[in-house]
Structure 1
Amino acid sequence: MEEYGIFLGFNNQAEAFRLPVNPETLEIKESGDGKSYTIIDLGEINTISYPKLTEITIESIFPAQRYPFVLVQEGGLKRPFEYVELIKKWMTTRRPIRFVFSGVSYADDTKKAEGKLNDAKKWLKQSSTSEDKSIEIDFGVNMAMSIEGFTWKLSAGTSGDIEYSLSLKKYVFYQAVAVKVVNDEVKVEKKRANETPKPTTYTLKSGDSLWKVAKEKLGDGKRCGEIQKLNGIKDSELRKLPIGKVIKLP
């Protein structure tokens, strides 16, 4: 059997979710940027240029209830407006998101019940040397993308379901580089682009908890898990956080 899934993530998967309902069609636009010219005694010719950035359009729904066609969700199904608010928040950061589209084949139908498709990272890391020979990766698309458009509507008679259309465009990382001139020779200092926002820091004080810090500094106490993961804090350390410890904030 085969199953396919689409994941959207932000900040190196610190925030991510799987689309609860796969779109009926996934429109992917690939086009070139060539130009045509008319030459005397030759006629029309065309030049081949670099291809334009990939564009993807997704149209589906965020369901208000667990229909038979709703896909398994890691951490449970969110409410429709939670998906909407998360996408809107990503747009305001003016940073790219991560688009993952992957498909797998199962040799045994019972694998589906084990939730093997919940983790997009695992799909893309699977290889021919994987110990789990019952899973075969059909394909995997993993690229940074910008959110170019997001429209949604709540229609009458849909039990609270939200219909949406999401437009994405491939994002190419770029940055200004330092240039030095040494003995009339131009040297460019290259640095690897980083899609992760630079974290701020906070110094723990008496009475602090990660929930309290997340509430005060990030505006949402539920983001305490992000702080814990970012700083590698063990569950056993949560009850007694060291005073004076400097932690990073997502």
Structure 2
Amino acid sequence: MDFILSDPEGPELQLPVNPEEVTIRREKQYETVDIINLGEIDFPTGEKVKDITFSSFFPMEYDPSFCRYSDLPDPQQAMNRLTAWMISRKPVRLNITGTIINVPVLISAHTSVFKGGYPGDVYYDLTCRTWREIKVRTAAEAAASLSSTGGLKAQRQDLKPVAGEYKVKSGDTLWAIAKLNYGDGSRWKDIYSNNKKIIGPDPDLIYPGMKLVMPK
């Protein structure tokens, strides 16, 4: 098992001494709403970003009993690299071979410790947060996407499909029927013209159960 941090645009850092343990913190995200007479209610909204935490050290001298390789980085330079990655606000990839952890992360915090009796060695605690890429489109890109999908044709159709025959219900008017079926109340005149023999001389006098032939 090896711990490797790599920058897509730059260097790679393999930890010379493996941490004894790795802690992965998972947490559910909630939105709390205060409801009158009920108090606070939690609504789950998703999963928070995972924290990956571990501790180890950069040795000044190679020791085959715990070092993963012999060409060790300078401990101070290694810590400076971690600091630079943290300040850059850009993700690096954390790969722990032999495990499922191979993800882009942001280095959110690290702590350096110098211990007496171990000159040159630098001990550290490192916290990484899994990184999620967010794609933001410009207005021009959104307009181009809408155009490519047919514009208004891609929008949800709210109108009821026009039927060949409509059965009048209680409370109906020709205007309401035209609005429901065509999205335009003014088309009541077309419905009346198509059913004048059934309705009679007064377009306001329609009755429940009356069957109207709908114009195409």
Partners of 1:179 and 1:186 within 8 A in 2:
no
User: What stretches of structure 1 move > 6 A for 4+ residues in a row?
Assistant: 36-40, 42-45
Alignment pair present for 1:152 and 2:112: yes
Aligned match of 2:28: 32
Name stretches of at least 5 consecutive residues in structure 1 with no aligned partner.
104-138, 188-250
What is the aligned counterpart of 1:65 among 52, 61, 64? 61
Question: Which of 4, 29, 33 lines up with 1:7 in the alignment?
Answer: 4
CA contact (8 A) 1:96 1:146 kept: yes
- TM-aligned CA distance change 1:38 to 1:102, over 3 Å: same
1:85 aligns with one of 80, 89, 96: 80
8 Å Cα contact 2:86/2:109 also seen in 1: no
Alpha-carbon separation, structure 2, partners of 1:150 and 1:49 = 29
User: Does 1:99 find its partner at 2:59?
Assistant: no
In terms of fraction of residues, the more strand-rich structure is 1
Describe the superposition over 1:96-149 as per-residue Cα deviations: whole angstroms up to 9, x where unpaired. 11111122xxxxxxxxxxxxxxxxxxxxxxxxxxxxxxxxxxx33111111111
Percent identity for Structure 1 against Structure 2? 26
Distance 2:53 2:35 in 1: 38
**Cα shift at 1:153:** 2.3
Give unmatched runs, 5+ long, in structure 2.
Answer: 155-216
* Distance in 1 separating the partners of 2:113 and 2:39: 50
Q: How many residues were matched structurally? A: 146
- The answer to which structure, 1 or 2, has the higher relative contact order (CA under 8 A, 6+ apart) is 1
- Counterparts of 1:111-126 in structure 2, within 5 Å, are none
Whose Rg is larger?
A: 2
Q: Distance in 1 between matches of 2:51 and 2:41?
A: 27
User: 1:168 and 1:184, CA in 2 relative to 1: closer, same or farther beyond 3 A?
Assistant: same
Question: In 1, are the aligned partners of 2:31 and 2:43 still within 8 Å (CA)?
Answer: yes
Partner residue of 1:50 out of 37, 42, 46: 46
Are the counterparts in 1 of residues 24 and 52 from structure 2 also a CA contact under 8 Å? Answer: yes
With structure 1 as the length reference, what TM-score do the two structures score? 0.51
* Secondary structure at the counterpart of residue 82 of structure 2: helix
Cα distance in 2 for partners of 1:48, 1:168 equals 24
State the Cα deviation string for residues 44-89 of structure 1 (Å, max 9, x = none).
Answer: 975443211111112111111112211126xx21111121121122
The alpha-carbon distance between structure 1 residues 43 and 152, as it changes in their structure 2 partners (threshold 3 A), is: closer
| Secondary structure at 1:160 match in 2 | coil
1:102 and 1:49 map into 2 onto residues whose CA distance is 32
The root-mean-square deviation of aligned C-alpha atoms, in Å, is: 2.8
1:168 matched residue in structure 2: 128
